[in-house]
A and B are shown apart, each in its own frame.
Chain A
Amino acid sequence: EAQVTQNPRYLITVTGKKLTVTCSQNMNHEYMSWYRQDPGLGLRQIYYSMNVEVTDKGDVPEGYKVSRKEKRNFPLILESPSPNQTSLYFCASSLLAGGPGDTQYFGPGTRLTVL
């Protein structure tokens, strides 16, 4: 089944403890992206990757790191999490970066709480 998977789905952690949220897609997609969703603020793009080894900042990259060493995986790294990073995180992928009608497929989400 074609899908985007994220792990973990739920995570409660403490301030300053490094964590990684994994994202993997099995559709051979070039483009992958991370978003956070907060009440009243909607979905905001954190980082995106047009291809392997190519990443770029979205609208809210502060406090996050990403890497794209292989096509299928795009982990999100929080080196020193803070409470303001408590949020619902979504990973997404699409076949190509750009072009009309390019469907973006979203993962199921990771709910992160930083105490």
Chain B
Amino acid sequence: TQLLEQSPQFLSIQEGENLTVYCNSSSVFSSLQWYRQEPGEGPVLLVTVVTGGEVKKLKRLTFQFGDARKDSSLHITAAQPGDTGLYLCAGAPWYGGSQGNLIFGKGTKLSVKP
């Protein structure tokens, strides 16, 4: 069974601080996605990374895909209360190369206090 381990599980920080969330696996993924989920809603896609070593930026969020395509990180600069939510990584296993069987990490619950 392929697993995606996310860390930390919980993160509580003050507004303006920086943070990094990690998503690690022993398996190779053809692509990796990051989602954000707010209470009472479904996850919303933030970004997809595809190429090993790829870095993508979305305003204050920076996403990186590991060179070996087994891990990824999400870095938030100057966090704001609006960043509060559950962050999920999800990987498409290498063998399929498709989203047929998408595997999710357990999530990182972020709380940003004003």
Contact = CB atoms under 8 A, between A and B. Distances in A.
Contacts of A101: 31, 48, 50
Interface string A35-46: 100001111110
Interface residues of B, number: 27
Interface in B58-100: 88, 90, 92, 96-100
Using C-beta atoms within 8 Å of the partner chain, give the interface range for chain A. 20 to 34
A103 interface: yes
Nearest to A35: B104
A42 B107 contact: yes
A108 B105 CA distance: 20
B110 to A, nearest CB: 15
Interface of B: 1, 30-31, 33, 40-45, 48, 50, 88, 90, 92, 96-107
Interface of A: 4, 31, 33, 35, 40-45, 48, 50, 56, 58-59, 90, 92, 94, 97-109
13 contacts: A43-B107, A92-B42, A98-B97, A99-B98, A101-B31, A102-B48, A103-B48, A104-B102, A105-B45, A107-B42, A108-B40, A108-B41, A109-B40
